[in-house]
Amino acid sequence: MLIGLGVMIVSFILVGVLAIWGVKYTRRHIHEDRKKKFAAAKYLLLLGIVVAVGYIIFAKKFSHNIDLVMSWILLASGCFFASGLAFFIGYYHEKENSK
């Protein structure tokens, strides 16, 4: 029970760290070209897809440990959220400067 709770707390912390990293990276490279500006969003999206595909493939093996499965889903959706956050910061800045 405590191990599953610890894994979930670690997943929350990891999602927060990834979101902060994505935002800082995007804001640091906000005035550069699109490839560099959206790199953090691309890497976070790729990480989210890999974690989600891993969940789909290996979820049956871990069905007895619901805490692990929930933290896996949390990590995948958190990566998608962090990717969207980093993308929309860059997109909004690009849209504001094009006016």
The domain ranges of the chain are 1-97
Q: How confident is the model at residue 77 (pLDDT cuts 50, 70, 90)?
A: very high
**Percent with pLDDT over 90 in the chain:** 38
The enclosing H or E element of 31 equals none
Tell me if residue 38 falls in helix, strand or coil: coil
Rounded to an integer, what distance in angstroms lies between the CA atom of residue 87 and that of residue 67?
30
The residue with tokens 């979101």 is 19
The reported pTM is: 0.82
